Amino acid sequence: MADAVPQRLWLIGCGNMAGAMLSRWIDSGLVRGDAVDVVNRHDRALPPGVRQARGLPDGPPPDAVMLGMKPQQLDEIVAVHGDRLRHVPLLISILAGVEEATLIDRFPGPAVVRAMPNLPVALGKGVVTLYADAAPPAAKRAVAALMAPLGLVEWVPSEALYGAAGTLEGCGPAFLFRFIDALAKAGEQLGVPADQAARLALATVEGAAAMAAGSADSPATFADRVASPGGSTRQGLNVLDRDDSLVRLLTETLEAAERRGREMAAEAKR
């Protein structure tokens, strides 16, 4: 296929994540709403111009199809739409745990690229990790160009690393949301009113992330710069750093999420 950014799109399933991607594509001007057809089990609020139905539209195939339904629906989609999708040049999958070989087996014909976005793609501040072994270079370039308005786009060299990287960035926002909530609740324990603690925690994380993103220095360097020897920040960091407790907690968190991804991959092969 050509290197051009895919313009005509079919989205099979358009929940929170696929919907966030679609909204950003249209808001950025990369894709027109009237060039997109969505297949959903139930109608959802979609950007203006986007067509929504229970089945694929008539007519020639689009430039690309994106699979955005639940991974458990894979066999159902193959049974209902598999014949039509054989004629599509490019298949993009955001299905967690469904490996490239499984997708190629279920949908022979199109070039296959796996993509793992996270929810801030809706703001153009997300992360998208990409993996494809069998797809030709032109297909990879087309997918990378399509993903560019969503935020940071990173290719990973192996499917094992794709699972790990996807766990970090795909699940990471949920873990950060939990951290922000926990920071606010800790402030409440010190006597800060709940609504004020929530505002302070959110603004603190937002500002710190923006500062780290805009600097060549590492977050670890920033932490040490803020923490004066013998000061209050240093005392708090000593708790987080003790026995690498924070690193060990987050490693355990990511391992649990990645383990579930491997389980879903095994289930999809059956």
CATH number at residue 110: 3.40.50.720
Domain-embedded: residue 161: no
pLDDT of residue 244: 94
Last residue of a domain, one of 155, 181, 198: 155
* Same-domain pairing of 68 and 199: no
**Contact call for residues 71 and 94 (beta carbons, < 8 A):** no
Q: What are the two backbone dihedrals, phi and then psi, of residue 68, each rounded to the nearest 5 degrees?
A: -130, 15
C-alpha R_g of the chain: 21
* Same-domain pairing of 197 and 66: no
Angstrom distance (rounded) from CA 193 to CA 187: 8
Q: What is the domain count for the chain?
A: 2
3-state secondary structure of 152: strand
Structure tokens at 124: 């153009």
Query: For residue 165, what are the CA distances in angstroms to 161, 254, 264?
Result: 6, 10, 16
pLDDT of residue 3: 60
**Contact call for residues 16 and 76 (beta carbons, < 8 A):** no
* Same-domain pairing of 181 and 100: no
Structure tokens at 23: 């909204």
* Same-domain pairing of 142 and 107: yes
pLDDT of residue 227: 86
Domain range for 219 is 166-262
* Same-domain pairing of 22 and 95: yes
Q: Give Cα 151 to chain centroid, integer Å.
A: 10
Contacts of 194-201 spanning 24+ positions with Cβ under 8 A: none
* Same-domain pairing of 20 and 44: yes
Domain-embedded: residue 2: no
List, in sequence order, every residue forming a beta bridge with 84; answer none if it has no partner: none
- CATH label of the domain that carries residue 211: 1.10.3730.10
Domain-embedded: residue 1: no
* Same-domain pairing of 74 and 145: yes
pLDDT of residue 54: 92
Last residue of a domain, one of 155, 181, 203: 155
pLDDT of residue 229: 86
* Same-domain pairing of 177 and 145: no
* Same-domain pairing of 227 and 170: yes
Burial of 191 (0-12, 13-18, 19+ CB in 10 A): exposed
* Same-domain pairing of 54 and 138: yes
Per-residue pLDDT of the chain (270 residues; tens, 9 = 90+): 446 899 999 999 999 999 999 999 999 999 999 999 999 988 889 999 999 999 999 889 999 999 999 998 999 999 999 999 999 999 999 998 899 999 999 999 999 999 999 999 999 999 999 999 999 999 999 999 999 999 999 999 999 999 999 999 999 999 999 999 999 999 999 999 999 999 999 999 999 999 999 999 999 998 988 888 889 999 999 999 999 999 999 999 999 999 998 888 788 776
